[in-house]
Amino acid sequence: MFTVTHFEAIPPEFIKSQVQQMVLDYLTDISSVAMAPTNPLYNLYQYGVGYEVHLYLEAMNGSRGFPVELLVALDGEDPSIVVGFVLYLPVQGDGEACVVTYMSVLESHRRQGIARSMLAKMTGRYPHVELACFVNKVPYFEAMGFQVAGARGPQILMNTRDYATDGLLGVLDTAPIYQSVEVQQIHAYLLKQHGERAMLDAEKQRDHHLDHLTRQAEAFVAERLGYSAIPDSRHKPRLH
């Protein structure tokens, strides 16, 4: 069993640390880059996405000027253990809408209704929800009431309604993370460890994989909806 807890302010440290550990452990599943652990760039993206989630959690104190909320599933027998989470952004100017940024469930606790329960609690607060997932996850979210809305890069956009919200979505600008000294240091270490040729090959593998996923997403949307992928520009403005 498990319980689902909602946070609008920064959660306790034991929750933050476990959420961030899940991000590191399940990076391939939750990141839009879909980086495989075998790719030498994996550690770099672990840092980048992990730090992004850290910044979102810190932004729950209101310091970024946009709302951030968190749902956490806690183990029923030991409530100090986080077994799942959903990090999402309420849309400003539309009290019914939110956008999921990251979500995951411990591998040992999957197929127990945890994700379904967390999403149900979220849609109870915000019935108009948008999220992005890879093609293979579409049936899973369709079973929970989402419908295909279009494609964005390598992922499928899904929505609980057949239209996008007109509100404003505040998001972090992640560019400074990947331009930071820390990322440069990680890249330098990886370059020293693997060599320049291997790192160039890693970038090519990443780009090839993303191109493949993007074509797959566009073809899926074209077949499902009968037209090409909806460009990202149809979405509400973003506040960085």
Q: What is the pTM of this model?
A: 0.91
Q: What is the mean pLDDT of the chain?
A: 92
What's the rounded mean pLDDT across residues 147-165? Answer: 95
Task: Give the contacts of 211 (CB within 8 A, at least 6 positions apart).
Answer: none
pLDDT at 230 over 50: no
Report the pLDDT value the prediction gives residue 237, as an integer from 0 to 100. 35
Please, what's the b/e burial string for 208-228 (b: 16 or more CB within 10 A of its CB; e: otherwise)? ebbeebbebbbebbeeeeeee
Say whether 85 sits in a helix, a strand or coil: strand
In DSSP terms, which residues pair with 41 in a beta bridge? none
Per-residue pLDDT for 214 more than 90?
A: yes
CATH topology of domain 2-130+167-227: Aminopeptidase (3.40.630)
Distances (CA, A) of 2 to 32, 72, 84, 109, 197: 28, 10, 10, 10, 47
Give me 45's structure tokens: 């993206």
- Give the per-residue pLDDT at 193: 95
| Average of per-residue pLDDT across 30-46 | 93
- Pairing between strand 97-105 and 128-133? parallel
Residues β-bridged to residue 131? 158
Torsion, CA 26, CA 119, CA 72, CA 11, rounded to 10:
110
